[in-house]
Structure 1
Amino acid sequence: MLGLGTISRKVFGTANDRKVKAVRPLVAKINALEEEFKALDDAGLIARTEALKARYAAGERLEALLPEAFANCREGAFRALGLRAFDVQLIGGIFLHQGNIAEMKTG
């Protein structure tokens, strides 16, 4: 016999499922920018970083800058380390940006 809580989780998902689902559109925006940032040379990537800093200094909200900033960071990390951040890692970063605690399982 299924309890009300079990049925509720199956229909609506857990609180964590709903939070992850809420940030998926941001991850999609970051992924959509990937090719644009890959096409930049190192100087172009640095220029985009400086442009993001200038936009923030001019008063643009961090939430508006987040997709470009994360795409920029992902590409910079790939060039420096040879490792590309997975979507789940972007989700963790977004949660941290929002002031939440994020736990990521390994493996």
Structure 2
Amino acid sequence: MFRRLGQDFQLRKVKKILKQINALKGKMSSLSDQELVAKTVEFRQRLSEGESLDDILVEAFAVVREADKRILGMFPYDVQVMGAIVMH
């Protein structure tokens, strides 16, 4: 029973992050290709200034999702993004 409670908590946490990523979909789709590339430089800078991977996770995943759509022509499903969050 207690193991199940932990799994439910983890799933809620992942879904909350996914919701934040999905909320950035419009913002990311409005960026130019050059602006998307510049986000990588921005993320590196933020990390070098002491931010953690968790601090940039939502925006970084939203950028990657948009890049996937533009480059591969495929938009990752929510469940795929959830798997990536868990693996992070």
What is aligned with 2:46?
A: 55
TM-score of the aligned structures, taking structure 1 as reference length = 0.74
Question: Which string of whole-angstrom CA distances, capped at 9 and with x for unpartnered residues, describes residues 6-61 of structure 1?
Answer: xx5xxxx5654442222111001101111111001100101112101110111101
Overall identity of the aligned pairs, in %: 36
Q: Tell me how many residue pairs correspond in the alignment.
A: 88
CA distance in 1, matches of 2:38, 2:48: 15
**Which one-letter code corresponds to 2:50 in the other structure?**
G
Point out which structure has higher relative CO (alpha carbons under 8 A, 6+ apart).
2
Q: Could you tell me the TM-score, scaled by structure 2's length?
A: 0.88
2:68 to 62, 77, 93: 77
Q: For residues 69-102 of structure 1, what are the alpha-carbon distances to aligned partners after superposition, in whole Å with 9 as ceiling and x for unaligned?
A: 00000001111101001111111001100xxxxx
Kindly report the root-mean-square deviation, in angstroms, between the aligned alpha carbons of the 2 structures: 1.9
Structure with the higher fraction of residues in helix conformation: 2
Secondary structure of 1:20's counterpart equals: helix
Larger-gyration structure (1/2): 1
